Structures are given as C-alpha cells and as structure tokens.
Amino acid sequence: MDNTAPLRPPFSVKLAYAIGQLGWSLATFCVFNQLAYFYMPPDTGEASFPPYIFQGAVLGILTIVGLIGAGGRILDAFTDPWIANLSDRSTSKLGKRKLFMLIGALPLALFSFLVFYPISPNNIAMNSGWLVLVITLFYLSFTIYAIPYAALLSELGHQAEDRMLISTMISVTWAVGFFIGNTIFVLQGYFEQTVSPTLAFQYSAAIFSGIAFVCLLFPVFFVDERKYCAQKTTNTGVLESIGKVLENSNFRNFVFSDLTYWISLTIIQSGMVYYVTVLLELDKEYTTFFMGGAFLLSIFVFYAVVNIAVAKLGKKKVVSFGFIIFAITFLIALFLGNLPVSKEIQLIVMGILAAMPMAIFGIVPNAIIADIVHHHEQTTGEQLAGMFFAFRTLMMKFGVTIGVILFPSFLLMGRSIDNDFGIRFSGFAALVFCLIGFLLFQRFKEVGVSEE
C-alpha cells in the first residue's frame, strides 16, 4: 500500500460512503424483520399469505422459518473471519475493501428479494429447500459486502471527530433505509388493490432491492481508498487475527452486550406488525407510521442530542442510558391494547420512547468499534479493522438470528386476537435480553479507547 499520508476526506466522500449504508440497510430490512411476517403471518381473519412452509412446531418449540433463518450462522462463523482476513490482506488496485463490495453488491440485492419468492404455490418441501439456499446465499453476499464496508469507517475516519461524524452519517442513512423499508406495509396495501397479498409484498420487496443495489455501489465508485484511507496491509493469518481481536477484553465486553441488543431489537422489530394488528387491532399500515415516525424523530431531534451527550458524558454513559430507555419501551409492548388510553396514543408513546435509543444505538456503537480499532493500531502497529468489524458483524448476525428463531417460536403460544399470549411474551423476552445487555455493557471501559 502507498505509505503517503492520506488526505482528510471531504464531506462528499463521507456522504458517498454513508449512502452504501442506506443500501445494505434496505437490502437487509425484509430478511431481518419480515421473514416471520411473510412465512408465518398474523392471524387477524383477513386475507394473507398462503402457507408456503410448515406452520407448526418442530421438536416442540422451534419452527421451520426460525431454523432456516438460523442455519446460515454456522456458515457465517467461517465466512465472516475468512472474508475479513482476505480484505485485511488484500492488495487490489481497485481498493482492498472496494473489490469485495463490488463483488457482493448485486447478489446481496438480488437474494434480498428471492428470499420472498417461493418457487411453488403449494409444495412445502420444495419451498423450504429453496429458502435454505437463498437465505444462505443472502448472508454470504451480506458478509462479502458489509465487513469490508464497515472496516472503511475507521480507515476513512483517521481523526476522532471524523469517526464520530461518519458514524452519525451512516446511522442517518441506515435509518433512512429502515424508514423506506417500513413503507412496505403501505406499498403492500397499495398493490393489493390490483394483485394478491403475496404479489403485493413481492413487488414492494423488488422495489427495495433495486434501490438498494444502486446505493450499494456509491462507495465503490466514489470513495478513493488510496487517496483518503489510512490503510496498511497485514500478513497475519485468519486464526492469529481472531486471537488478537479476542485478546482485547474491552472489545469482548462491548460485542457481547451488542449481541443481546440485537436479539431484543430483532424480536421487537419482527413483532411490530403483530403488536399493531393483533394487540391494538389496527390496520397493518400503522406499523409504517409507527416505525417511520420513530425514525424521523430519532434523526431530526435525537441525533443532535446524542452527539452533544457523547461529547459531554462519554460513550459508555450514553449507551447505558439507551439500554434503560429501550427496556422501558419493551415493557410497554407487554401491555399494548390494555392501557387506559386510546390505541393510537399507546403507539405514539411507544414510538417517542423508542426514538432516543434508536439514535444512540445507531450512532455510538460504530464509533466505539472505530475507536477500538484505532487504539489497537496505535498500540500494536497492526491494522485489523476488517477482523474487528467482522466479529462485530458476526455477533450482530447471531443476535438477529437468535431473534428470528425465538420470535416464531413465541407465536406458537398464540398469535391471534383471541389468543395473543405468544405476541405479548415476545415483549417480555425482548425486555430480559435488553437488561442482560445493560449489565454486560457495564464491564466496558471507555478509558484507553479514545486517544483524545
């Protein structure tokens, strides 16, 4: 790699990088959050999706959709560190990170749609096999794109203020992608005027995939790694890199608390359409209004507050506060529909409470990892950004997967207006995981991470 000092990236380069986050936020939205909705839809008495896969229990407590969603994590345990190490060691003229992002962009967008395209109207076995295949290819594509992409954060942000700004920017673009993703219920309702619910959902997912593909390419074409990134090529092997990353106790304390956060978040996000349609007995389009409103409030009000709070209080106190407010939000989910105010007010209050921790967890964790990467490089002289972010991404995937396994299993205990126990229990489970995350995070020490 060129050893000349990199230039500080201008805002336009940071923006091009951040748009890539919008791409993978939108590409992963439906798979992360709507898998159970499509394959185990809520029982509200209205026309919904056909039973493309087996709807009952497996081994008493699990479901096919949960097991399929989980299966790819075994592969991820090998592919995530492998791709990270290849990226850390790359000497590609295109860019050590951008080569992988270019390879991963199209399949990530394509398989994000094909996950919701069962190949038979009534052959459950064939659809299950197809879903296993496309879920596996989806997560492999996600690994190829997202891990090198994440490593660029610390390399573009070779100054502390830039790391915080870039972390904020990718949090905004992630939230924009998530907001667009939540319009799926409005889009689905629009398309249902002329086509079946299945086609309506698939049309919406296809639109998201197309937008995602274009956004995924922005960092590839508009971020010049050699000009703006502080990079070194490492010769460290996969196992040695993993060992060095896990030797960092501060990093371990953070990522395991982050794991529980993603479990609780996935449970709640997967459950929102059920909370709206079953617990509150409102139209599914209200899910879009809730999530969209919460994210808009998060971006336009709380993002600035979070940056100010981090500057004054530090990252640890702000993240701890986020865990507490999220726990209160999940507690409210337990009692939706039974509170002494209108259903719409219940939804609004929950959305306002959720907005602050959404801003915190959207911004601060990426900045924490970038600080850890930078501190590791300053103290050891070795750059393992890809592996640090790979392990964090792997924990995120495990968290999402555990949530994807658990939520459909909860639904087996009741997902109808007459029996909503399973849906309410999901809120309790999210609350418990959130509190565990808070306790684990208290072991994280911010001292020695930030160099300023």
Q: For 100-134, how does the pLDDT look when each residue is reduced to its tens digit (9 = 90+)?
A: 999 999 999 999 999 999 988 888 889 888 988 99
What's residue 46's pLDDT? Answer: 65
DSSP-assigned beta bridge partners for residue 416:
43
Give the separation between CA 310 and CA 79, rounded to whole angstroms.
34
Cα–Cα dist 310/446, whole Å:
12
Residues 6+ apart with CB under 8 A from 432: none
Judged by average pLDDT, the poorest of 58-62, 194-198, 261-265 is 58-62
More confident residue, 231 or 379: 379
pLDDT, average across residues 318-333:
92
- Residue-wise pLDDT tens digits, 372-416: 888 887 787 777 777 888 888 788 878 888 887 888 888 888 877
pLDDT for the residue numbered 447: 52
- Distances in whole angstroms, Cα of residue 218 to Cα of each of 44, 105, 142, 360: 41, 10, 16, 26
pLDDT tens string 62-81: 677 777 766 666 677 678 88
Lowest mean pLDDT among 214-228, 278-292, 327-341: 278-292
Q: What is the pTM of this model?
A: 0.73
What's the whole-number average pLDDT of the chain? 84
Lowest-confidence region among 105-114, 177-186, 421-430 = 177-186
Out of 90-104, 208-222, 324-338, 382-396, least confident range: 382-396
Q: Computed from CA positions of residues 117, 259, 42, 200, in that sequence, does the dihedral angle turn out positive or negative?
A: negative
Q: What is the pLDDT of residue 103?
A: 95
Tell me what the mean pLDDT of segment 176-183 comes to.
Answer: 86
Model confidence at 5: pLDDT above 70: yes
CA distance 138 to 76: 11
- Phi and psi at 58, nearest 5°, equal -115, 125
What is the CATH class of 11-441? mainly alpha
Looking at residue 449, its pLDDT comes to 41
Residue 4 is predicted with a pLDDT of 66
Structure tokens at 282: 């409102």
Question: Does 211 or 410 have the greater pLDDT score?
Answer: 211
* Of 75-79, 225-229, 325-329, 357-361, minimum mean pLDDT range: 75-79
CA 80 to each of CA 102, 127, 142, 263, 366: distance values in angstroms, whole numbers, following the listed order: 17, 27, 10, 19, 18
Q: What pLDDT does residue 452 have?
A: 37
pLDDT at 72: 62
CA-to-CA dists, residue 99 to 102, 442, 448, angstroms = 5, 38, 33
Predicted local confidence at residue 182, as pLDDT: 81
27-51 pLDDT, tens per residue?
998 888 788 788 877 765 565 788 8
